[in-house]
Amino acid sequence: MEEKLTLFKNRKRFGIEKNIDIIFKNTALVLSSFVAIILLGIILVVFFQSFESFSRYGLKFLVTSEWNPVKDEYGAFTAIYGTLVTSFLSLLITIPLGVGTAIFITEDFVPKVVREIIGSFVELLAAIPSVVLGLWAIFVLEPFFRAFFVFLHNFFGWIPLFSTEPTGRNSLLAILILVVMLLPIVTSIARDSLNQVPKKLRNAAYGIGASRWKTIFSVILPAALSGIMAGVLLALGRAMGETMAVTMIIGNSNAFSWSLLSPGYTISSMLANQFGEADGSQVSSLFYAAFVLMILSLVVNIFAQWLVKKFSLKY
Amino acid sequence: MNSLYYQKRLSRNIGDKFFTSLSVICALIAILPLIFLVTYILIKGGSQITPELFTLEPNPPGDDLDAGGINPALIGTLIITTIASIIAIPVGVGGGIYLAEYSKGGAFPRFIRFGVNVLAGVPSIIAGVFIYALIVSTKILFGSMYSGLAGGMALSILMLPTVIKTTDEGLKLVPNELRYASLGVGASMYTTILKVTLPSAFRSIATGVVLGIARAAGETAPLIFTALFSYYYITGFGDLFYEMGSLAVLIYNFALEPYDAQNKLAWAASFILVLSILSVNIFSRILAAFTEKTKRV
């Protein structure tokens, strides 16, 4: 009896333990709010640093392409245009490739083992650092495609997009390397959302006599569309912010040109190139460009999240 | 009668064949770059590997005869990634614990989860720009400008969302019965988390964190104007406050040099970086597949 009572006494929770519990909880709370602090910090810091340039050039910054540290004239149109063009065009190539690959992985054309190997291969592609892809692009991709670019220029030179003589690094190479980087993102998200389509739908389509691809196009893909769209938007955000590989291969020229075969610029490559050596109002202008980039990728990301929330759990 | 058999010429069957081959082509195009890339790096980079590579300093470009080694960059990558992990792992795991164990729905955790996703989508160069404005240009770290410490901080911003997410998701997979049992025998909340839920989610969290570290090790954009680059050996603790080289920045700098010797050094560094990142990825994949199988039994 005596023994039991002491045991009971020991099981009573001490005040100190309660305090530790409260401290633990609050520490976790504070740590989790770090995310919000950092996010807000990034937005505020970049905004305030760009304020000088913003008040001087206003929205004109977005539509002029003069970038002259000597005359103190700054406009980021070339870089903004480059960012948008490279990311949209690379996405245009990636979407059919990625969704096609995802369909190949989720259908049963080949044994499951082979499909899993291909799937993990594509995901490993995502793990390769972008600077290594840039190195590869400089020394392998560019020589490999040189003849093809000359061909493009000779036969399609009348299209403004191919109107300049290809000389080494250019925007089209940046688009190609972006395709390599975006492919794993689009493929793995498309695969996940295709896998989530209930088997019942497929069986019902087969049951009323639809062929395999009729089923894919009219039943499976529409059902998985929202997930695929979200993946595409995430990839778009990644493409706009991608820095190293693009910087290494795009040629870094602020001279505006419609042609994809001429050297170009993106916001991120401009930052990577100039930030280290910039001073004075150039720094502020670079922060302004960074702010534009951040807003672009924030909008795309938030829209992607909204899309996921709105359309997921349909089945 | 005839219609019961598979008819090759039927337009739907031709269409099916066409699209099937199209998707096969897509898959081939998707894996070709990886195969080309990895074989090229293994051959080109692997042939540059010598013992001196790991012990020497890189020579400044211009001297075309001998590029030297990558010792400072290799050590620098290890140090910067370690700093990033030291910051990001406690903050991330703590935040993940709050989201998974304490939050009961409502505006705040929803906002944090949203913030995690948004932060994961912030371009990596913006993290560099942020740390530049906050730490490098203000010289807040004992008067030093570009430093390995600043580089590690920039990388930790990129690691943080990954760590929070994997902790949050790993803890959510722990069955509630374990928590009830622990609380039922009188354990307090923090004992339950530290002694029961966290250990049972340890493997999935560790896998995610290790993958996050591997990704951070290859990041370049946040480092090019926070840690900058250095040609010299890292000799002591004080070097944390000065420019520090890393494999990723070395590849970037030396790839753009016109000299062959520097380019070769970039390939060698790529070989080491890719090999270590890929092996971490493959190893954790195998581990994950293995644990999944044992769990089912």
What is the C-alpha end-to-end distance of chain A, expressed in Å? 60
Q: β-pairing, A67-68 with A73-74? A: antiparallel
Q: Judge whether residue B297 has pLDDT over 50.
A: no
Distance from CA of A10 to the nearest CA of B (A): 11
Q: What is the pLDDT of residues A63-109, one digit of tens each?
A: 888 888 778 888 889 999 999 999 999 999 999 999 999 999 998 88
Query: Residue B58 forms beta bridges with which residues?
Result: B68
Residues B155, B134: Cα–Cα separation, whole Å:
14
Q: What is the pLDDT of residues A44-62, one digit of tens each?
A: 999 998 888 888 888 888 8
**Two tokens, residue B12:** 């739907």
pTM: 0.90
The interface predicted TM-score (ipTM) is 0.90
Coil, strand or helix at B92: helix
Residue B221 to residue A124, Cβ atoms within 8 A: no
Residue B94 to residue A28, Cβ atoms within 8 A: yes
Q: Judge whether residue B296 has pLDDT over 60.
A: no
- Measuring CA to CA, which residue among B269, B210, B226 is closest to residue B75? B269
Contacts of A139 in chain B (CB under 8 A): 255, 263
Question: B12: nearest CA in chain A?
Answer: A211
Q: What pLDDT is recorded for position A6?
A: 57
Helix (H) or strand (E) holding B127: helix B124-131
A143 touches chain B (CB under 8 A): no
CA dihedral A103, A107, A109, A115 (to 10 degrees): 80
Residues A282, A70: Cα–Cα separation, whole Å:
10
A21 touches chain B (CB under 8 A): yes
What is the C-alpha end-to-end distance of chain B, expressed in Å? 49
**Two tokens, residue A6:** 């002491």
Q: What is the pLDDT of residues A158-191, one digit of tens each?
A: 888 887 778 788 899 999 999 999 999 999 999 9
A107 touches chain B (CB under 8 A): yes
Residues A292, A253: Cα–Cα separation, whole Å:
19
Distance from CA of B147 to the nearest CA of A (A): 13
Instruction: Work out the mean pLDDT of chain B and round it to a whole number.
Output: 87
A221 touches chain B (CB under 8 A): no
Cα angle: A283, vertex B230, B277; to 5 degrees:
95
Question: B16: nearest CA in chain A?
Answer: A213
Residues B36, A288: Cα–Cα separation, whole Å:
39
Residues A143, A166: Cα–Cα separation, whole Å:
12
Q: What pLDDT is recorded for position A9?
A: 56
Residues B61, B258: Cα–Cα separation, whole Å:
9
Cα angle: B256, vertex A135, A277; to 5 degrees:
35
Residue whose pair of structure tokens reads 């069986």 in the numeric block: A203
Q: Tell me, what DSSP letter sits at residue B193?
A: I
Residues A110, B167: Cα–Cα separation, whole Å:
35
